[in-house]
Amino acid sequence: MEKSNPKRNLNKRRISRRSFMAGVGAGTVCVAASSRLFAGTGGGKQEKAVAEAGALSKIKLRINGRDHQLLVEPRWSLLYVMREKLGLTGTKEGCGRGECGACTVLIDDIPRYACLTLAVEAEGAEITTVEGLLDGEALGPVQEAFVEEDAFQCGYCTPGQIMSVEGLLRKNAAPSVEEIRTGVSGNLCRCGAYSHIFKAAEKAAKSRVK
């Protein structure tokens, strides 16, 4: 019985760089050919995978109790549309990628990042921004509590902080301190005014109970 030669078996398994590249090239050609074949099916019409750049869609957004009819690109965020198309600049853009919470608004009473929400996605929902908490020229309870408790320094994150507290209180009228901490955990304050923010939330909760 002939014994196998380990060196000879190893040589059989070795693949040269040239043979490897040739195999990859052949595979690429096959994939490209099959893709063209697949694209040609369906009655001779190829469906577009993405919307054309600059294509506009007509939507209606209900913000702070008012309806807004407008044309938007499907890629536009709710934040962009509110600030640049509707002039609602109370909602701030911080990071633009859902990390800081400065752009928090309420969508059907739930805090959401406007920078990560498409405008077309928000159609049909009730949207509330920091402007919507005003009663004419008078501040809303949460806004007033933030002023009284000095719950801001630079103020840039404040609209988002206020909306997160507002959303929390609409769900839970008497939250504990731990629940308040959790409720605003998605909002960053670079000035570090967290203790004042927590006090403002507690004050706003008490004012609602009265």
Q: What is the pLDDT of residue 19?
A: 55
From the list 162, 201, 161, the residue with the least C-alpha distance to 180 is 201
For 186-204, what is each residue's pLDDT tens digit?
999 999 999 999 999 999 9
- Please, what is the average pLDDT of the chain? 85
Burial of 204 (C-beta count, 10 Å sphere; 0-12/13-18/19+): buried
For 25-58, what is each residue's pLDDT tens digit?
545 444 444 444 334 444 444 455 565 667 899 9
pTM above 0.85, yes or no: no
Above pLDDT 90, what percent of the chain? 72
What is the extent of the structural domain holding 153? 57-209
The number of folded domains in the chain is 1
In a domain, 41, yes or no: no
What CATH number should be reported for the domain holding residue 112?
3.10.20.30
Mean pLDDT score, 120-127: 98
